[in-house]
Structure 1
Amino acid sequence: MAVPEEGSVVETGDQAAPVGWVERTAFDYTAMAEAETAATWDGNARVYQWKDEYGDVGPAFEELEVELFGDPESRRDRQTGLDFSKIEQIEVIQEGPQRIEYIKTFADAGIHPVMLRNIELCGYEVPTPIQKFTIPAILQGYDVIGVAQTGSGKTAAYLIPILSKLMGKAKKLGAPRPNPARFQEGVDNVIAEPLVVVVVPTRELAVQIFNEARKLCYRSMLRPCVVYGGVPVREQGGLLSRGCDILIGTPGRLKDFIGRPEVLSLRRLKYMIIDEADEMLNDDWESELQAILSGAEQDVGNVYYGLFSATFPKAARDLAKKYLCDSHVRFRVGRAGSTTENIKQMIVEVSREGKNETLLTLLEEMNGVRTIIFVNSRQAADTLDDFLFNMKLPVTSIHSDRTQVEREAAMRAFRSGQAPILVATGVTARGIDVRNVMHVINYDLPSIEYGGIEEYTHRIGRTGRIGHRGVATSFFTERDEPLASVLTRTLLETNQDIPDFLQAYIPENWSSGTKVKFETESDFDPNDVAGAGEGCGDEGGGWNTADNVQGDSGGGWGNSGGNDANEAANASGGGWGADAAQPAAGAGW
């Protein structure tokens, strides 16, 4: 909530906050904008600083360790109440000519000892289904496509194996860089030559993955950096000039730096990861992705690629076929675009005029917990922020019209609990992972034209993440009727209660245990039969060979019959259950 202009009338904060909520804080966006040049950007956060005498692995640094991972007591509390039972039941389907033996524990994977310790410090006790398959696949040198539900641990699924492989090899593979203890700006600057590039669609997600990389690079010589819009290029260039091994960035800013060869070179690149790929494959970002993927100095065939997303539309499949090797492996955790039973979904029928009253009732009933409220426009975010602030609730908001200083301040306030209610548009909250988000409210459901059920899935996936439970409440008005059918099927798929006003949309002949079908499962082009892996130059493998499918031949992702084949296989026990330790009968291997 912005500080009101002089002369305007608004209630002061003298009265107590509503029961269960902390006192509200007014954020002076004008002052933030004026102080922007002196701002401490999230991308400036401290990383582990190696020294020449350390070798490839350095000693523990207690102060930074607490900053990165929290104190030991908080790390123990982090795992309290986790419920992995639903996650363990999620089916994992492996496709591709290579079979990957999955791991049961992190220790099974042959991970570098420093990485194992960092995993422990992060509080990761059991690998999630996508991690069980992706970690060994990347360690064995395969290109990977990972399609998994939101909140399933995709970021760690690629960072852990990549950084583990590079630990102990930084001096051999990395570029020369100055010793931070003696660095002098303008004198010791080097060209950043990262070994890893991670491309993400939003600034907030870039910072989030950077913070995850800071943790997993701890005690190694590997230096993570992040670049994104809204921050002066010179500021980020100064960080790159100290050396960079892992670079996370948004498409536009990455393209900008690729065009500055005196600052950034990709000639040493070993790994290219496209995260939240489905969001980035809009026409608006095509030129940026092309420049990042193929317009730089990396040698074709020497770069490993990873493509990760919660959904896998045709544009993502086309991208994979162009850049990934024939021998890549593909993992689908559950149905592409599905959500998890750890999230209790409630759909509430309201009038447009009754939304605010219903919202206040919800915030009163489920008070004091981190809550994200989604709206469909920037204006709606500002309006709702003002309304809730004037109701004395501790709220902040985020959308694409805000300056980067404001966006980062809002996220810090939300993460710290200073403003545990965040009003956001779907775009700005894409992929955000904030601990202990217990409630997601769709004040506006996404329209069928702009995001539809895929956007709904991403939104509610901000809660119920990796073993935690969460609640998602959505307001349904007469405008949302086009979404009713697929929304009802999504509820059925995850064993949710169907409200009376959606009963008419339950598919005919449906009964408990019946597999629900979705349009996205049959959107494959029957003529889309090209093999993947143009960049590798080898023929064979492809997307539609018999070895690529689980179940009947001709399945796969690249033809019209693939999903029927997979459904048949699944119905008879095909596919891999993550807790089953072996492929089920009929898995097609």
Structure 2
Amino acid sequence: QTGSGKTAAFLLPILSHLMVKGVESSAFQALKEPEAIIVAPTRELINQIYLDARKFAYGTCVRPVVIYGGTRTSHSLKEISVGCNILCATPGRLLDIIGKEKIGLTKLRYLVLDEADRMLDMGFREDIENLLRSPGIPSKEERQTLMFSATFPSSIQSLARNILKPDYLFVVVGQVGGACSDVEQVVMEVEEFGKKDKLMEILQETGSERTMVFVKTKKKADFIATFLCQEKVPSTSIHGDREQKERETALRDFKTGQCPVIVATSVAARGLDIENVSYVINFDIPDDIDEYVHRIGRTGRCGNIGRAISFFDKRGDDEQRIARSLVKVLSDAHQEVPAWLEEVAFSAHGMSAYNPRSKFASTDDRQRGESRKDFSTSGFSPSVAQAEEED
């Protein structure tokens, strides 16, 4: 379940085991051989994991390092050269460093794939396969492999059967794919041309409380952020077309309160743990219920109360596709379901888009007796990353 603390769930045991079993100082060795590698799909998420690892490892002999694209490779190599026990990396940069023979894998004890479904959805399947075929990497029987995600569709479980030990543990915390009960969810019927006025109305009520506004495209993220600034609401934006430094500055301004409103595409929807986000506003509702759950999971984290407001245009195609799944998520989280939303959900259009077999997959496929299949990304909805590029 989103917001349940899975980053600490893998970092703390890894650090504990490394300190008990001991780590080797590699500062004077040309080839660095980390004992743990953590892979995540986006720069923001992997940097956040690294900051947590650095915080937890403070005062110990364990040295975490982070590497990701969008920065000079020489900077990554310099960080690694000082020593590296826990390597936090995005898939592309990790393979790049392995290819330059600056990282060895023979001493790898722990391999963590965070947001595994998102990695496949963003097209990192081949990178994951190449990593698992890298020279020197211990077999799955000789290492501990962990896969984490807030959603676990069958395509991800078939990947698990390929890369984990046959008797792997399937652990469910809370309701997989479900929205945290600490988030109050409100769905408002708003036509497209009325969204800006409704957004301003809400932001005037919330004052300076930290708010994330999600939109569908990169252009709209910049457009809405500019509109809000013109209306004297300090805002910034984050999306895939912004330079890495711009993205880091936007997140810093949001976290420090300099800009209490951040307008984002899906690049910020997954995994980011920003303290005290009071509101999430879906200016554009996603067409995929997984994405909805991840977005609203940016608030109401770790026992805090949050509020998620979604603008719903009954004539929109995305709204029609998500309506019935949205009713189920609201009902499961004991939230109020507007009568008009139920009508949309159970109309002919709403029913035609409903998949009775939920993608959330909160049960272990092995218990359902499903036959082994080669893992593939079939069954995934078109990635939001692709949707952004289309604009």
What is the TM-score with the length of structure 2 in the denominator? 0.87
Identity across the alignment (%): 40
Q: Residue deviations 1:313-356, cap 9 Å, x none? A: 12211111011112321111233211111000000111111000
Alignment of 1:33-72 (within 5 A): none
1:469 aligns with 2:308: no
1:202 aligns with 2:42: yes
1:299 aligns with 2:138: yes
Maintained 8 Å contact 1:414/1:422: yes
Maintained 8 Å contact 1:398/1:425: yes
Q: Which residue of 2 aligns with 1:310?
A: 150
Q: CA deviation at 1:523?
A: 7.6
Aligned equivalent of 1:354, options 176, 182, 194: 194
Alignment of 1:219-368 (within 5 A): 219-261=59-101, 263-282=102-121, 284-300=123-139, 301-368=141-208
Alignment of 1:163-178 (within 5 A): 163-170=15-22, 173-178=23-28
Alignment of 1:157-556 (within 5 A): 157-170=9-22, 173-178=23-28, 190-261=30-101, 263-282=102-121, 284-300=123-139, 301-447=141-287, 452-477=288-313, 478-479=315-316, 480-504=319-343, 519-520=357-358, 544=366, 555-556=367-368
Q: Residue deviations 1:507-559, cap 9 Å, x none? A: 79xxxxxxxx95316989xxxxxxxxxxxxxxxxx964xxxxxxxxxx44747
Q: Residue deviations 1:88-140, cap 9 Å, x none? A: xxxxxxxxxxxxxxxxxxxxxxxxxxxxxxxxxxxxxxxxxxxxxxxxxxxxx
Aligned partners of 1:223 and 1:255: how far apart in 2? Answer: 20
Maintained 8 Å contact 2:269/2:294: no
CA distance change for structure 1 residues 518 and 418 in 2, over 3 Å: closer, same or farther? farther
Structure 1 unaligned runs (5+)? 1-148, 179-188, 509-516, 525-541, 545-554, 561-589
The SS at the match of 2:188 is strand
Q: Which residue of 2 aligns with 1:156?
A: 8
Maintained 8 Å contact 1:445/1:475: yes
CA distance change for structure 1 residues 201 and 420 in 2, over 3 Å: closer, same or farther? same
Aligned partners of 1:339 and 1:247: how far apart in 2? Answer: 31
Q: CA deviation at 1:484?
A: 1.1
Maintained 8 Å contact 2:323/2:345: no
Q: Please tell me the residue identity of whatever aligns with 2:16.
A: S
Q: Please tell me the residue identity of whatever aligns with 1:293.
A: L
Q: Residue deviations 1:487-511, cap 9 Å, x none? A: 1111111111112311325779xxx
Maintained 8 Å contact 2:176/2:361: no
CA RMSD of aligned residues (A): 2.2
Q: Please tell me the residue identity of whatever aligns with 1:177.
A: A
The SS at the match of 1:485 is helix
Aligned partners of 1:259 and 1:364: how far apart in 2? Answer: 52
Maintained 8 Å contact 1:310/1:336: yes
Maintained 8 Å contact 1:343/1:463: yes
The SS at the match of 1:157 is helix
The SS at the match of 2:197 is helix
Q: Please tell me the residue identity of whatever aligns with 1:161.
A: P
Aligned partners of 2:251 and 2:294: how far apart in 1? Answer: 18
Maintained 8 Å contact 1:488/1:505: no
Maintained 8 Å contact 1:446/1:453: yes
Q: Residue deviations 1:45-79, cap 9 Å, x none? A: xxxxxxxxxxxxxxxxxxxxxxxxxxxxxxxxxxx
Maintained 8 Å contact 2:116/2:147: yes
Aligned partners of 1:543 and 1:278: how far apart in 2? Answer: 16
The SS at the match of 1:291 is helix
Maintained 8 Å contact 1:376/1:444: yes
What is the TM-score with the length of structure 1 in the denominator? 0.59
The SS at the match of 2:88 is strand
Q: Please tell me the residue identity of whatever aligns with 1:494.
A: A
CA distance change for structure 1 residues 518 and 212 in 2, over 3 Å: closer, same or farther? farther
Q: Which residue of 2 aligns with 1:142?
A: none
The SS at the match of 2:269 is coil
Q: Please tell me the residue identity of whatever aligns with 2:255.
A: R
Q: Please tell me the residue identity of whatever aligns with 2:243.
A: T
Q: Residue deviations 1:418-461, cap 9 Å, x none? A: 111111001333211000001000000012xxxx0000000000
Q: CA deviation at 1:296?
A: 3.5
CA distance change for structure 1 residues 543 and 325 in 2, over 3 Å: closer, same or farther? farther
CA distance change for structure 1 residues 417 and 523 in 2, over 3 Å: closer, same or farther? closer
Structure 2 unaligned runs (5+)? 348-354, 373-391
Q: Residue deviations 1:145-172, cap 9 Å, x none? A: xxxx1111010001111110111433xx
Aligned partners of 1:523 and 1:158: how far apart in 2? Answer: 21
CA distance change for structure 1 residues 366 and 456 in 2, over 3 Å: closer, same or farther? same
Q: Which residue of 2 aligns with 1:529?
A: none
Aligned partners of 2:48 and 2:133: how far apart in 1? Answer: 26
The SS at the match of 1:520 is coil
Aligned partners of 2:7 and 2:356: how far apart in 1? Answer: 27
